[in-house]
Structure 1
Amino acid sequence: MADESALRTVDVARESGYSVQQVRDLERLGVIPAAVRSSNCYRAYAPVHVQALRAYRGLAGAVGPVAARQLMADLWTRTVTEAAAAINAVHVGLARERDEVLRAQQALWAIESEAAHHGAVEAEAAHHGAAEGADTMTITELAAALGVRTSTLRFWEREGLVAPERVTSLRARRYDASSIGAARIVAALRGSGYGIPAVRDIIDSLHSLQDGCGPERVRPILVERLDRIAARSVELLRAGADLADVLDSLTPARAPAPA
């Protein structure tokens, strides 16, 4: 006897907002678990399939469709505890992106302050770096702070975007306050989709400090980046209830073995 509660492909498509073909494609990609096949070989879906597709839509808006597909496919193999940790990592990642853009804004304000007082950015940064060791970072520390690879920082250096000092006989890189600020702005610009030539042009204008033209170019870019991160955060929140339903369908966390 057929399960009257089962959903057809067309039902899932209507409830999720995807087309019938998209539902089939997303099933093939593992975004939703494979549907049960009835005796006549038709697909029979359950409400969790609709919830998973809605969750995927929100995740795609938050982290992009590729990352969302990978995350959803991975969730079905995890326990509730593991899956919840993976989703929490998405929230943490967005919060980190926002914090980095805010730090880039702070670096920009520092540059504007220097321009207002007709001071040199390099001289002020060197002064603070000498007075406060906490104002300097190694390449490893800065890469970790920005969420990029050390090879990315070396590439930015070769492209003239960031200029660290070289210290010790091994000529290790040391980033002072000025270089850290520049790196944060470069990271924010790259995250906003700007290519290397455009970033170089903007960074050069910041260094020139001519009539504040550099800061005026960067400020709206950073504001737009914050707005985009906020919109992505809203998409993730919108997916929250459906993600919770998906997690409810997973295997409970394994209890620790007795001592």
Structure 2
Amino acid sequence: MTQASASSAYVGFARLRTVDVARATGYSVQQVRDLERLGVLPPAAREGNGYRVYTDTHVRALHAYRGLAEAVGPVEARRLLARLWTVSLEESAATVDALHAGLARERDEVLAAERALELVEAEVHRAGFEGEVEAVDSMTITELAQALGVRPSALRFWEEQGLVVPERVTSQRARRYGPVAIGAARVVVALRGAGHPIPAVRDIVAALDRVEGRAGARRALDDRRRALAVRSVALLRASAHLVAVIEGAATQD
């Protein structure tokens, strides 16, 4: 029996044993108990002999957890589900909306990085003919931090790590970032958001002035975009089961 058919086989059952829930979701009996203890599942009712009694809602919650874990990671998935059992319908809806918005933001970062990479390529190409890259459309550290959605301190840290270096620093220590540095910063945001460690990001950024380096950055961004698509689908799959979680929580009030 597949996981999907196993799940449907138990829908409609008002009283499920721990082993029934395990079979319906693909988790072990111990995992079911552990996830209940962690708050992913609401506390199961107990029979007179102390045995747990679960319902369809518990099965749905575990399917929701599986999708959420793939979309946002298991730690965040546990935190979110534990929260959904305790908040109002409005707060639950806002929480789920925020998950979708977060993935959309990450996708926007990747698209911005891809556009920035094209700009870097154009600037490097122009420099090859003109002998220099003109400092047009430059930004201050505050302006660039606002555009990227990070703190100025993050840009200073990246500068220390050799990730994003301002193209010039004035006598008053004011940093100015030109097109190439701005493009590199967008690439850094996208790669760091994907979990790439600083040494790996440093290698990619250091090679942006070479064809093979830009190709490597493009591959990394392509991988990030594909991973986001997988996570988005997982979140959509989880959303179908989250309805049961939200409605189940509402009936407990």
Equivalent residue number for residue 106 of structure 1: 115
Task: Give the Cα separation in 2 of the matches to 1:195 and 1:250.
Answer: 39
Q: Provide the C-alpha distance between the structure 2 equivalents of 1:122 and 1:177, rounded to a whole number of angstroms.
A: 12
Give the 3 Å change call, closer, same or farther, for CA 16–204 of structure 1 in structure 2. Answer: same
Deviation of 1:18 (Å)? 0.9
Query: Partners in 2 of 1:120 and 1:62 — Cα distance?
Result: 46
The corresponding residue for 1:184 is: 186
Q: For the aligned residues, what is the CA RMSD?
A: 2.4
Alignment correspondent of 1:132: none
Which deviates further from its counterpart, 178-187 or 188-197? 188-197
Selected match of 1:72 from 81, 84, 98: 81
TM-score normalised by length of structure 1: 0.83
* Contact 1:27-1:34 at 8 Å conserved across structures: yes
Deviation at 1:161, TM superposition (A): 0.9
Q: How does 1:1-259 map to 2 (within 5 A)?
A: 5-117=14-126, 118=128, 123-124=133-134, 126-129=135-138, 136=139, 138-139=141-142, 142-143=144-145, 145-164=147-166, 165-166=168-169, 169=172, 171-206=173-208, 209-210=209-210, 212-251=211-250
Amino acid at match of 2:64: A
In 1, Cα distance between equivalents of 2:163 and 2:129: 21
SS in 1 for 2:137: helix
Relative to structure 2, which stretch is displaced further, 146-155 or 157-166?
146-155
Q: Provide the secondary structure at the position in 2 that maps to 1:87.
A: helix
For 2:65, the aligned partner's letter is Y
- Using the alignment, how far apart are the partners of 2:164 and 2:84 within structure 1? 39
> d(CA) in 2 for partners of 1:18 and 1:188?
34
Give the 3-state SS of the residue equivalent to 2:206 in structure 1: helix
Aligned amino acid, residue 216 of structure 2 = R
The answer as to whether partners of 2:71 and 2:231 remain within 8 angstroms in 1 is yes
Q: Offset of 1:16 from its aligned partner?
A: 1.5
- Using the alignment, how far apart are the partners of 2:131 and 2:204 within structure 1? 16
Q: Is the 1:108–1:215 Cα contact (8 Å) retained in structure 2? A: yes
In 2 relative to 1, CA 122–19 (structure 1 residues): closer, same or farther, beyond 3 Å? farther
Q: State the distance in 1 between where 2:198 and 2:19 align.
A: 46
Q: By how many angstroms is 1:174 displaced?
A: 4.7
TM-score of the pair, normalised by structure 2:
0.85
State the 1:173 CA deviation.
Answer: 4.3
- Residues in 2 aligned to 1:33 and 1:121: alpha-carbon distance in whole angstroms: 66
Q: What is the deviation of 1:76?
A: 0.9
Structure 2 residue aligned with 1:257: none
Question: Where do 5+ consecutive residues of structure 1 fail to align?
Answer: 130-135, 255-259
> Could you report, residue by residue, the CA deviation over 1:160-211 in whole angstroms, capped at 9, with x for unpaired residues?
1112354684x454544332211111122223333222222221111xx24x
Q: Aligned to 1:31, what secondary structure does the other structure show?
A: coil
